[in-house]
Structure 1
């Protein structure tokens, strides 16, 4: 970033398109987390689109925090995955940025599956994942900043409970993982 000229504030510098896009995302994240009423969004977006300087963008985003990489884990958008996924003689994977439904069931039968929740968002504060592995395996990767409760059982198989984590911050999403591993495995891991 270039230094402003002497006597000139950083807020007087002309706003770039990238900075306008970041301000729009900041406003939308504030609506998703309940910090900004939806009724105010259009007026503030108009301020962003007509902003000439960085100071004008800051005025449009007044009173709002700069979103972090994991803000707004619970979103008011439809799930991007169905509530049922199966890997029968093959596999399935849900990873990257996706939206988890409130209730999800996975089947791994003579195949495998992988759910990666590290970049996922949730449709509900309480999510239930029912994982069934019959002569197959499912791997579930959870981030450190959500509440995880594992209640599955292994019958001649393994239902791993390593992803249970520390006491989460109030208001974080809660994921309950339950199901059955019969001659198979459901493995849960916590990763950043």
Structure 2
């Protein structure tokens, strides 16, 4: 993308590159959700380079170094595998519940326990301490839910005793460089669920894409109707011209 020819038409790939920069900026806290939504909507509505360029003018270019992190391509899984010890090593619920969600770092091994209670581990916005992390779930007359983002490989090795572990997300190939999440432990009169959900930014991107598709369809219908109207008007003018010519010949 360049400022030298702002009148050039932008491609879908150009718009997607800008959207990727915006998603990275949202994840890094450079944009809040309202700013992200406004800019993402402008991205999918942009038709030229001149309309796309200002959207990311105040954001780091792809390949830029973020403070406190090693260089990583924006949007890549490498940017989310940060090393270290993780935000916490475990969570417990007895006659209650726990939740881990939003921006947090999953350690190499995370242990959670629920007795007559439940918990949720949401990894969609999380960073990872290593390429492979283990989540050990012990559920006794309780339940837990592990939510992973698209692209992550999931392996379930838990054992259920009058209970069960959800294996539906196993066998889905991970994206290149994505972390591997291994779910272990056991469930006694309880259950551990594993599900794959898109991130909030991805849901918003899809919503805006669907909205843009509806706008494009409406514009196409308007263009088609306008074309029909012009054809009818031209046919009507030809018919009137024919009548006038016929009368002129009759008068002669």
- Sort the TM-score into its range (normalised by shorter chain): 0.5 to 0.7
The counterpart of 1:79, out of the listed 60, 74, 86, is 86
TM score, norm. by length of structure 1: 0.67
1:99 equivalent in structure 2:
105
Name the structure 2 match of 1:157: 163
Q: TM-score, normalised by structure 2?
A: 0.52
Structure 2 counterpart of 1:115: 121
Task: Give the number of the structure with larger relative contact order, counting CA–CA contacts within 8 Å between residues 6 or more apart.
Answer: 1
Aligned to 2:182: 176
4+ residue stretches of structure 1 with deviation over 4 A? Answer: 3-6, 18-21
**Unpaired stretches in structure 2, ≥5 consecutive residues:** 7-48, 199-252
SS at match of 1:86: strand
- Is 1:128 paired with 2:128? no
Higher helix share: 2
State the Cα distance separating 1:69 from its structure 2 match: 7.8
Q: State how far apart, in whole Å, the 2-side matches of 1:20 and 1:107 are.
A: 44
Contact 1:144–1:165 (Cα < 8 Å) also in 2: no
1:37-75 deviations in whole A, cap 9, x for unaligned? xxxxxxxxxxxxxxxxxxxxxxxxxxxx5x228662201
The Cα of 1:159 is off from its aligned counterpart by 1.1
How far apart, CA to CA, are the structure 1 residues paired with 2:149 and 2:184? 17
SS in 2 for 1:27: coil
Residue equivalent to 1:62: none
SS of equivalent residue, structure 1 residue 87: strand
Could you tell me whether the CA contact under 8 Å between 2:113 and 2:137 is conserved in 1?
Answer: yes
- Distance in 1 of aligned mates of 2:182 and 2:166: 13
- Correspondence 1:27 to 2:34: no
Deviation at 1:151, TM superposition (A): 0.6
Verify the 8 A CA contact 1:141 1:190 in the aligned structure 2: yes
Computing the radius of gyration over CA atoms, which structure comes out larger, 1 or 2?
2
Distance in 1, Cα, partners of 2:91 & 2:187: 16
User: Residues 181 and 116 from structure 1, CA distance in 2 versus in 1: closer, same or farther, beyond 3 angstroms?
Assistant: same
Aligned residues: 152
1:5-62 deviation digits (Å, cap 9, x = unpaired): 99xxx89xxx99x845535994128953x55xxxxxxxxxxxxxxxxxxxxxxxxxxx
For residues 79-115 of structure 1, the C-alpha deviation after alignment (integer angstroms, 9 at most, x for no partner) is 22x2121011110000111111110000011110000
8 Å CA contact retained: 2:99, 2:121: yes
RMSD: 3.3
Q: Could you give the per-residue CA deviations for residues 106-152 of structure 1, whole angstroms, max 9, x where no partner exists?
A: 00111100001111110111101100100110011111211111010
